[in-house]
Amino acid sequence: MENFRLAHALLISTFAAFPTAVSAKSYTALKGESRISYHIHHPLHEVEGVSQDFNCTVELGNDTTRPQVHVKASIDSFNSGNSNRDSHTLEILDAFKYPSVEFSADSAIRVEKGYRLFGQLTFHGVKRSVDFMVTPEYSKDRVHIKGNFMVKLSDFKLKRPTLLMIPTADDLKIDIDVAAEGP
């Protein structure tokens, strides 16, 4: 049933168009105005780490089912507001061996309030398929894209961080808030 819904949505999306997709358009994230953040739960507190220093390009053309979206962030660019925690995070994530996290979209379907992106997330040397909703807002030469998705640390062969010998949740929420400008 799920495959039927996906195929149906993909078929419908081939007739839909991004509002600005009359001609091909390239967008680049504006550093300082864009952010990627992670959120993880520990029984004693919530942790958020934010990066505003990452690369993101979005290529939109007439074939809206095949956008080119690429995001790459250095692991050490994320700041949780606690330098000890951030140092420990770099150790857990093997940041010297796997210095970045990357996402590349390979397709999209139009849904009621935006688009569902499908692509590959590479994190800690492991590549996994992910899909998530994004909502774009367009202005003259800009697009503002918001979305979020969940991953499991265990899916990326990561051990869960601990505090007082109590591990964090396995779920890691990623929020995306990208302001991008065209040429």
**Domain range annotation of the chain:** 23-181
Is pLDDT of 147 > 90? yes
Contacts of residue 99, Cβ cutoff 8 Å, sequence gap at least 6: 74, 75, 76
Could you tell me the CA-to-CA distances from 50 to 115, 172, 179 in Å, in that order?
24, 13, 15
Q: How far apart are CA 177 and CA 183, in angstroms?
A: 20
pLDDT (mean) for 114-137:
93
Is pLDDT of 152 > 80? yes
pLDDT band of residue 54 (cuts 50, 70, 90) is: very high
pLDDT band of residue 64 (cuts 50, 70, 90) is: low
Higher pLDDT pick, 127 / 60: 127
The Cα diameter of the chain in Å comes to 56
Among 26-30, 53-57, 61-65, 98-102, top mean pLDDT goes to 98-102
Average the pLDDT over each of 57-61, 103-107, 116-120 and give the range with the smallest value.
57-61
pLDDT in the model for residue 25: 78
pTM comes to 0.80
What is the topology classification, in CATH, of domain 23-181? Lipocalin (2.40.128)
Is pLDDT of 97 > 80? yes
Residue 142, φ and ψ in degrees, nearest 5: -130, 155
Mean pLDDT in the chain? 83
